């Protein structure tokens, strides 16, 4: 039987005024609105109200005292159980997973104990079941403990039930799915990138060419092209002119290949090379292509020649 006097912190001889004073003090202290709706304070507040409703009315208080007296007498007749070790026969909950705002029913049975508590909810009867609403639980695990105490011999036993807030499990599952999707996507993206990666060679227009290598190759190709151009303009031999033209065309094609790879390095399509055919504009565009820094890391045309 719940000890309402102990809940209100008063003696059994307390006056109605003392009962009312104790109730006001405790109801303010444990009011849920002042404790962010914490489950412990909410359940303590309910017990305080229950105690006041019983003891604050003379008729209900007399009835309570009579039952309490009969129970005390009955307990004293049961083989002097007050000197036995307290025992918890069982303590169980109808579930261990919950969402904030859910209700969970606990069931328990104890022996040889005169003070039984379910923490963090409060004092309960020696045997029975009770439903508690779990409000504003913002942590993953909630440890609920049944503590049975025999105050006559200052001994207690306890059993615990560990409840888990399912919102954290859901968040973890969602994170795992998201991570798995990301890994799959990255794997696919990496595979796709590898399919596009081309190794740069001197004779191929595929791959990327860094600024330094482009400048060196452009100078090396410009020298024979200039010589061939000079020969073709000064020579009157038709065969030499044709040979010079073929050699000059080859140098121009190879230089165009290097320029395309340089465009690739700044993540531009090789078709942009056609701008070099436009007078004057080709000079500005040529300077940009020469001095623009390449894309860091792999791009649509291959790996970074600087290995960044």
Sheet bearing 127-133, strands edge to edge: 87-93, 103-111, 127-133
Domain assignment present for 40: yes
Domain assignment present for 113: yes
Report the pLDDT value the prediction gives residue 3, as an integer from 0 to 100: 87
SS3 label, residue 40: helix
Domain assignment present for 197: no
168 shares its domain with 98: yes
95 shares its domain with 165: yes
What is the total count of domains within the chain?
Answer: 3
* Domain end call among 150, 172, 194: 172
Angle 62-63-66 (CA atoms, 0-180°, nearest 5)?
85
94 shares its domain with 56: no
- Enter the pTM of the model: 0.36
Report the distance separating Cα 214 and Cα 291, nearest Å.
10
Q: Which long-range contacts (CB under 8 A, 24 or more apart) does 245-251 make?
A: 251/221, 251/222, 251/224, 251/225
* Domain end call among 79, 103, 123: 79
> What is the band of 192 on the pLDDT scale with cuts at 50, 70, 90?
very low
* Close Cβ partners of 200 (under 8 Å, ≥ 6 residues apart): 206, 207, 208, 209, 261, 302, 305
Share of the chain above pLDDT 70, in %: 86
Domain assignment present for 102: yes
Q: Tens digit of pLDDT for each residue in 128-150?
A: 999 998 887 888 898 999 999 99
Of the two residues 31 and 74, the one the predictor is more confident about is: 31
Residue 92 sits in a domain whose CATH number is 2.60.40.2470
Q: What is the mean pLDDT of residues 162-185?
A: 70
Judge whether residue 198 has pLDDT over 60.
no
Domain span at 237: 211-291
Residue 12 sits in a domain whose CATH number is 1.10.287.110
Domain assignment present for 151: yes
- The mean pLDDT of the chain is 82
Domain assignment present for 301: no
């Amino acid at each position: 039987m719940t000890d309402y006097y102990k809940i209100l912190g008063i003696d059994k001889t307390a006056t109605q005024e003392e009962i009312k004073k104790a109730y006001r003090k405790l109801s303010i202290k444990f009011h849920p609105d002042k404790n962010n709706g914490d489950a412990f304070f909410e359940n303590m507040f309910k017990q305080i109200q229950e105690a006041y409703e019983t003891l604050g009315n003379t008729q209900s208080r007399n009835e309570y005292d009579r039952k309490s007296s009969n129970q005390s007498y009955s307990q004293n007749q049961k083989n002097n159980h007050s000197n036995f070790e307290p025992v918890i026969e069982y303590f169980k909950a109808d579930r261990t997973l919950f969402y904030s705002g859910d209700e969970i029913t606990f069931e328990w049975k104890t022996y040889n104990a005169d003070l039984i508590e379910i923490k963090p909810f409060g004092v309960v009867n020696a045997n029975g079941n009770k439903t508690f609403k779990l409000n504003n639980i913002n942590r993953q695990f909630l440890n609920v403990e049944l503590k049975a105490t025999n105050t006559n011999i200052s001994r207690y036993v306890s059993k615990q039930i560990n409840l888990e807030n399912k919102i954290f499990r859901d968040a973890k599952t969602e994170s795992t799915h998201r991570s798995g999707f990301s890994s799959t996507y990255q794997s696919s993206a990496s595979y796709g990138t590898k399919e596009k990666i081309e190794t740069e060679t001197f004779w191929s227009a595929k791959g990327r060419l860094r600024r330094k290598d482009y400048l060196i190759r452009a100078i090396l190709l410009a020298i024979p092209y200039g010589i061939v151009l000079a020969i073709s303009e000064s020579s009157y031999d038709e065969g030499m002119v044709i040979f010079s033209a073929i050699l000059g065309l080859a140098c121009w094609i190879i230089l165009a290949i290097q320029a395309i790879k340089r465009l690739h390095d700044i993540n531009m399509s090789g078709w942009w090379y056609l701008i070099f055919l436009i007078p004057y504009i080709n000079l500005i565009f040529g300077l940009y292509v020469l001095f623009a820094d390449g894309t860091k890391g792999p791009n649509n045309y291959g790996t970074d020649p600087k290995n960044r």
